Amino acid sequence: MEIFILCLLGLVQGLCEFLPISSSGHLVLLSQLFGVEDSLFVSIVLHMATLLAVLVVFRKDIWQMIKHPFSAESMNIVIATIPTCIIVLILMPIVDASFGGSYLAFSFLISACLLLFSQNFAKKKAIQGTFTRKNALIMGIAQGLAVFPGISRSGTTICAGLLSGGDKKECAKFSFLMSVPIIILSMIMEIVKISLGGQTIAVSPIGMILSFLIAFLVGILSIKVMIKLTEKANFKWFSIYLFALAVITIFVI
């Protein structure tokens, strides 16, 4: 695999994992375009990079949750993670098939409509409530349903939080924190798949190192940008982008 393509995938992962435009959808689309091999291994490495970005940005919050495992914030993570895992396990056969790109255009379209709807809702709602367990549960369900490539995890969970009456900034922050256990579990599953499949890895080490660093650094920037955008409920341009991408995907895949 060419180093350029790996770096491009790192850039896409760093941007799209935290911006509301679906990293998995973009990676599936690019894999189809460039004929990417060893895509499962590349996905594991890039998800490790974006996981590290979350750990760096929210290191103080995560450390507090580790020190106080039964705090309200820690319990909210548990409340969100349980429905996510249940839904993903139920939908797993359909999800595996979707990574071939069959539903990609439709999934991009769903994300675009959700962003547009939630932006209008959030801007009309002047008063924001506190962040509750109900918000955590609803965001956890949304995270489970966002497992399909093309449906943005961050976009869907933040929108679900806003629509359920959560505070804008807290919804964005919680969306990134709740991704930590899910990314870890996803990586474990992918590593098991590679181990059981006896897959031989033939990826450029230099390319993977560069790709990892790009995904990590861009991921940190994307998290900070997304928090600012959520405070302003400014998702319009992402929605327009996803509408356009849905149309393009129809002709590409």
95-133: pLDDT as tens digits:
877 777 778 999 999 999 999 888 777 666 655 667 899
Find the mean pLDDT for residues 170-189.
Answer: 89
> Is 0.85 topped by the overall pTM?
yes
Q: How far apart are the C-alpha atoms of 242 and 13, rounded to whole Å? A: 16
Q: How far apart are the C-alpha atoms of 25 and 193, rounded to whole Å? A: 20
Find the mean pLDDT for residues 206-212.
Answer: 90
Assigned token pair, 65: 């949750």
Angle between helices 205-232 and 3-16 (to 10 degrees): 20
* Maximal C-alpha separation, the chain: 55
